[in-house]
Amino acid sequence: MPVILVADDEKRYLDLLRKLLEPLGYEVVTAEDGLDAWRRVRENPPDLILLDLAMPGLDGLEVLRRVKADAVVKHIPVVMVTGMDDSRTRVEALEEGADDFLSKPFDYAELRARVRSLLKVKAYHDHLRRYNLRLEKTVEERTRELREALEHLKAVSEETILRLCRAAEYRDEETGMHIWRMSRYSAAVAEAMGLGSDFVESMLHAAPMHDIGKIGIPDHILLKPGRLTDHEREIMKKHTLIGARILEGGRTAYVRMGEVIALTHHEKWNGTGYPRGLKGNEIPLEGRIVAVADVFDALTSRRPYKEPYSLEKSLEVIGRERGGHFDPEVVDAFFRALDRIRSIREEFDDRRAQLMPSQVSAGFQWGDAFIPYWEDAAAGLQPGGKGPTQPLEMAGGTQWPNPSLSLLCVSY
């Protein structure tokens, strides 16, 4: 049932309008002054307001202004009721947003027609508002579903890239943690350079592709423990070109940045790098950043041809190559991000890497569980599964091996 608020300071008009409107199927609410009318509008918004112009205190025009200035109730039609034939006042009311006028004394047919017409407008407005709210909710739900689908697709794409990169690393490294560390080093340096969140995120996901071209390098060269011959070194350098060819034509920003990184991360600031001998700012920024991150991780990691350098010695090498191998601005950013670099190095330490079958050579049986040893010469594990030559301290202060536990050797 539509609700009509009638505001008038004369009770006889309130009673008359109630008698005229209620038989037409409307609920009539009355107010005897402007303040009471405004309070009722705010507390329980009606479907139509019949508002007397001349009321003591808060007059009809001021109530009209408040109604039309309020975002919640401004859509309610307002009919100004007056016993005066004052065109100036009518014009002012129209300028303030009045929807119609009624003159006293009332003409019943005119009253009925105007009320019905304005209530139809109000009903149509309410229908549109409800429809828009449903539409907004539907759009919001569809947007959320699309966002979730895109995030899922992005996650799947990133995982595919990462696993492909790990496949290349496992042919070259004793651990796949290298790509986790150097990609985060790269992102930390990019952030320290103030390059923006989009660039930093792209760097995080593109940097792991830097050595993807090593898939095309023969094992006898890639895994050679000693120094490479000049011929072998030239073949090894081709991994930059192979990686760029693998990634060329990518449709996503990550893959396109990965192509640039794969091609240029071995270029040097002084122009002595490869494959193109680019110099200074000729080298894309992505390649300059990854060059520092990759070399730092290589220095601090064990490789088939070297033992890891200490952190201090590695930092000394990075600093010494400022303006030689590396872009000075990138090196400065690297040292500004050193606290973050240290925490990444600790968080993704090789010993904490998830064990893969190729990393396990021995372990011990503890109840129904097989506890593997790390292949880590620094911890004392010898090739061939002979077990540690010194205890390895585990979480909680426990030391392994425990003499009471039997050693179980396995091979993969």
Which residue, 264, 268, 259, 290, is CA-closest to 183?
290
| Residue 407: pLDDT over 50 | no
Interatomic CA distance for residues 93 and 275, integer angstroms:
80
Across 237-246, average pLDDT: 93
Residue-level pLDDT at 103: 81
Residue-level pLDDT at 132: 87
Burial letters 80-109, b for 16+ CB under 10 A, else e: bbbeeeeeebbeebeebebbbebeeebeee
| Total Cβ atoms within 10 A of residue 270 | 13
The residue assigned the tokens 């995982």 is 159
Interatomic CA distance for residues 402 and 394, integer angstroms:
11
Looking only at Cα atoms, what is the longest distance across the chain? 112
Summarised one tens digit per residue, pLDDT across range 101-132 is 888 888 888 888 888 888 888 888 888 888 88
Residue-level pLDDT at 121: 87
Interatomic CA distance for residues 243 and 234, integer angstroms:
15
303 pairs with which residues across the strands? 306
Question: 186 with 237: CB under 8 angstroms?
Answer: no
Summarised one tens digit per residue, pLDDT across range 154-165 is 666 666 666 666
Cis before 401 (ω within 30): yes
Residue-level pLDDT at 349: 82
Phi, psi of 305, deg, nearest 5: -105, 0
Question: 214 with 244: CB under 8 angstroms?
Answer: no
Summarised one tens digit per residue, pLDDT across range 317-373 is 999 999 999 999 999 999 999 999 999 998 888 665 544 433 333 343 333 333 333
Domains of the chain in start order, with CATH, are 3-129 (3.40.50.2300), 171-352 (1.10.3210.10), 357-409 (no CATH)
Interatomic CA distance for residues 292 and 321, integer angstroms:
10
Which residue, 31, 105, 109, is CA-closest to 67?
31
pTM above 0.95, yes or no: no
| Residue 397: pLDDT over 50 | no
| Residue 375: pLDDT over 60 | no
Which residue, 108, 57, 49, 109, is CA-closest to 81?
49
Question: 80 with 68: CB under 8 angstroms?
Answer: no
Interatomic CA distance for residues 183 and 252, integer angstroms:
18
Across 259-268, average pLDDT: 96
Residue-level pLDDT at 155: 67
Which residue, 197, 196, 199, 294, is CA-closest to 240?
294
Residue-level pLDDT at 157: 63
Distance spanning both ends of the chain, measured CA to CA = 81
Summarised one tens digit per residue, pLDDT across range 164-215 is 666 666 555 544 578 889 999 999 999 999 999 999 999 998 998 899 898 8
